[in-house]
């Protein structure tokens, strides 16, 4: 049954920040008898999504590991209609546009659906955001509401999403005051890249012939003489999403002088655009395009943003009745393409543990549940984080990047199979909804939270 304000026997959930993880959790809780509210400080949705979403780029590529969850929630068919097939990433060395090598999202098999249960697909981040947002009743989400202070409640749960969540900052400050915060968690979020992201208006086949292709055409073009790399791809809405990575010399944080010397306003974004207008773009047409053409086809300045790409996995995910999901507890470089997947998986597993709590749970029961959630998710998060570093180095400059590209290009099929089994075998589902039983040839990873059960089932679950 949908949640109601009178369902006081269940712990009420306060979700702080309406990013992908927060929306996914709300969408899931809507299928249960757990009351919830979502609060987002932004007053409205921007063209590229919420302001917090810009930090991860303008597109999401989701492999088959999210398909079972989407099927359980009844949004798989619409997701497929909004997205485009994604199977490979072409790594190209400028100034020539012939691929140096191709990285496959999945192994080279005749029938990926038969092998994995679903194909990999890509869509613009705002489109995915809108799909999730439409699954949540309007009265459950509150825009223009910033949480400045939180207070633990005996029968409530606070869930924070976002790399710079005020909830996480307040929680960590309190733990540090009590000497309970690990030293690594007190370190500012580091970053080594600055990124420009944007999205064009809908284009014609004459302007961009690659639009006609079945696959989304991920193309990563590396500059040999400058510390930049560009990535562009076509999507189902006939637009082109693009990003430009600027590789910094060394690591920095918001607390460093190097960060303070970097400007982040719209004029700074335009200045970066001017620096990279001449970068080549492979559109499938005989006459070569440049990044400047994509910039000129971008409707207005709101569709272009300059962001930093942080990297860190925190060790503290919860305390008392407060728990973290997504970027609030693990922030990976988007080069690995795992940010959205991890946020969705966090939401699914955390929802399982929340649903399995007894009526009127004690603080001890809530803390034990949150710890189990972290223990189940952490190995997968650390693996995804390591993979993101590999992909970040792959498109970087210098000798380390050259070595990574050489290894990626010459990886034997048997080794690629090992990587595949590790990255694609984890497909979390919700134990309290009918399971997706789509057959796959690949053995799936064990999911402990799939075997949970609420001690006293007092409320019917929506079908």
pLDDT one-digit tens code per residue, 96-132: 667 776 776 554 556 778 777 888 888 888 889 999 9
Confidence class of residue 217 from pLDDT cuts 50, 70 and 90?
Answer: confident
pLDDT at residue 47 in the model: 46
| 223 or 230, greater pLDDT | 230
Q: How far is CA 216 from CA 83, 144, 212, 238, in A?
A: 9, 35, 9, 10
Instruction: Report, as an integer, the average pLDDT of 163-183.
Output: 89
d(CA 332, CA 338): 8
Q: How far is CA 351 from CA 26, 34, 37, 268, 384, in A?
A: 9, 10, 14, 40, 21
pLDDT at residue 353 in the model: 97
- For the chain, which domains are there? 12-45+122-188+312-451 (3.50.50.60)
Percent of the chain scoring above 70 in pLDDT: 83
Confidence class of residue 148 from pLDDT cuts 50, 70 and 90?
Answer: low
d(CA 33, CA 9): 10
| 337 or 304, greater pLDDT | 304
| 252 or 330, greater pLDDT | 330
Confidence class of residue 49 from pLDDT cuts 50, 70 and 90?
Answer: very low
Instruction: Report, as an integer, the average pLDDT of 234-262.
Output: 73
- pLDDT at residue 316 tops 70: yes
What b/e readout covers 69-79, taking b as 16+ CB neighbours within 10 angstroms? bbbbbebbeeb
d(CA 359, CA 365): 11
Confidence class of residue 396 from pLDDT cuts 50, 70 and 90?
Answer: confident
Q: How many CB atoms lie within 10 A of CB 412?
A: 8
Interstrand relation of 218-222 and 88-93 (parallel, antiparallel or unpaired): parallel
- pLDDT at residue 67 tops 70: yes
pLDDT at residue 53 in the model: 32
- pLDDT at residue 435 tops 90: yes
pLDDT at residue 399 in the model: 75
- pLDDT at residue 266 tops 80: no
Q: What is the mean pLDDT of the chain?
A: 82
pLDDT at residue 203 in the model: 95
Instruction: Report, as an integer, the average pLDDT of 261-277.
Output: 74
Instruction: Report, as an integer, the average pLDDT of 16-22.
Output: 90
Q: How far is CA 197 from CA 4, 64, 180, 285, in A?
A: 40, 25, 38, 23
According to the 3-state scheme, what is the secondary structure of the chain?
A: CCCCCCCCCCCEEEEECCCHHHHHHHHHHCCCCCCEEEEECCCCCECCECHHHHHHCCEEEECHHHHHHHHHCCCHHHHHHHCEECCEEEEEECCCCCEEEEEECCCCCCCHHHHHCCCCEEEEHHHHHHHHHCCCCHHHEEECCCCCCCCCCCCEEEEEECCCCHHHHHHHHHHHHCCCCCHHHHCCCCEEEEEEEEECCCCCCCCCHHHHCCECCEEEEECCCCCEEEEEEECCCCCEEEEEEEEEEEEECCCCHHHHCCCCCHHHHHHHHHHCCCCEECCCCCCCEEHHHHHHCCCCHHHEEEEEEECEECCCCEECCEEEEHHHCEECCHHHCCHHHHHHHHHHHHHHHHHCCCCCCCHHHHHHHHHHHHHHHHHHHHHHHHHHHHHHHHCCCCHHHHHHHHHHHCCCHHHHHHHHHHHHCCCCCCCCCCCCCCCCCCCCCCCHHHHCCCCCCCCCCCC
Q: What is the CA radius of gyration of the chain?
A: 22
- pLDDT at residue 374 tops 50: yes
Highest mean pLDDT among 130-144, 152-166, 270-284: 130-144
d(CA 46, CA 457): 41
- pLDDT at residue 367 tops 70: yes
Give the pLDDT confidence of 83-99 residue by residue, as tens digits. 998 877 788 776 666 77
Percent of the chain scoring above 90 in pLDDT: 38
Asked which of 147-156, 293-302, 375-384 is least confident by mean pLDDT, the reply is: 147-156
Tokens 């609420």 found at: 454
């Amino acid at each position: 049954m949908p949640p109601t304000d009178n369902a006081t026997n269940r712990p009420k959930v306060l979700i702080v920040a309406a990013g992908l993880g927060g929306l996914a959790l709300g969408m899931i809780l809507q299928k249960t008898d757990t009351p919830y509210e979502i609060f987002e400080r932004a007053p409205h949705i921007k063209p590229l999504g919420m302001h917090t979403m810009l930090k991860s780029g303008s597109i999401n590529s989701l492999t088959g590991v999210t398909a079972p969850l989407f099927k359980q929630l009844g949004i798989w068919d619409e997701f497929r209609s909004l997205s485009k097939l994604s199977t490979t990433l072409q790594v190209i060395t400028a100034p020539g546009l012939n691929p140096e090598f191709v990285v496959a999202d999945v192994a080279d098999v005749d029938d990926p659906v038969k092998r994995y249960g679903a194909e990999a697909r890509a869509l613009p981040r705002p489109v995915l955001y809108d799909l999730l947002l439409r699954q949540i009743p309007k009265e459950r989400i509150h825009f223009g509401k910033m949480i400045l202070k939180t207070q633990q409640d005996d029968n409530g749960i606070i869930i924070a999403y976002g790399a710079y969540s005020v909830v996480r900052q307040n929680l960590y400050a309190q733990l540090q005051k009590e000497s309970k915060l690990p030293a690594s968690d007190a370190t500012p979020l580091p970053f080594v890249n600055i990124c420009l992201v944007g999205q064009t208006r809908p284009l014609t086949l004459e302007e961009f012939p690659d639009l006609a292709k079945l696959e989304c055409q991920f193309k990563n073009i590396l500059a040999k003489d400058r510390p930049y790399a560009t990535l562009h791809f076509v999507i189902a809405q006939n637009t082109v999403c693009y990003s430009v990575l600027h590789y910094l010399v060394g690591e920095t944080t918001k607390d460093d002088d190097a960060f303070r010397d970097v400007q982040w306003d719209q004029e700074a974004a335009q200045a970066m655009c001017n620096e990279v207008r001449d970068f080549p773009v492979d559109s499938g047409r005989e006459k070569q395009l440049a990044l400047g053409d994509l910039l000129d086809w971008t409707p207005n300045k709101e569709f272009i943003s300059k962001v930093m790409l942080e990297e860190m996995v925190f060790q503290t995910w919860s305390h008392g009745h407060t728990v973290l999901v997504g970027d609030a507890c693990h922030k990976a470089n988007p080069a690995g393409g795992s940010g959205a997947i991890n946020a969705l998986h966090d939401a699914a597993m955390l929802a399982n543990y929340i649903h399995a709590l007894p009526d009127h749970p004690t603080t001890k029961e809530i803390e034990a549940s949150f710890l189990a959630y972290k223990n189940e998710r952490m190995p997968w998060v650390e693996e995804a984080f390591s993979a993101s570093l590999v992909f970040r180095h792959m498109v970087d400059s210098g000798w380390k990047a050259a070595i990574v590209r050489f290894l990626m290009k010459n990886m034997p099929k048997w080794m690629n199979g090992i990587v595949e089994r590790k990255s694609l075998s984890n497909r979390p589902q919700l134990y309290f909804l009918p399971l997706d039983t789509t057959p796959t040839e690949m053995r799936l990873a064990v999911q402990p939270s799939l075997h949970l059960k609420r001690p006293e089932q007092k409320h019917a679950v929506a079908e």
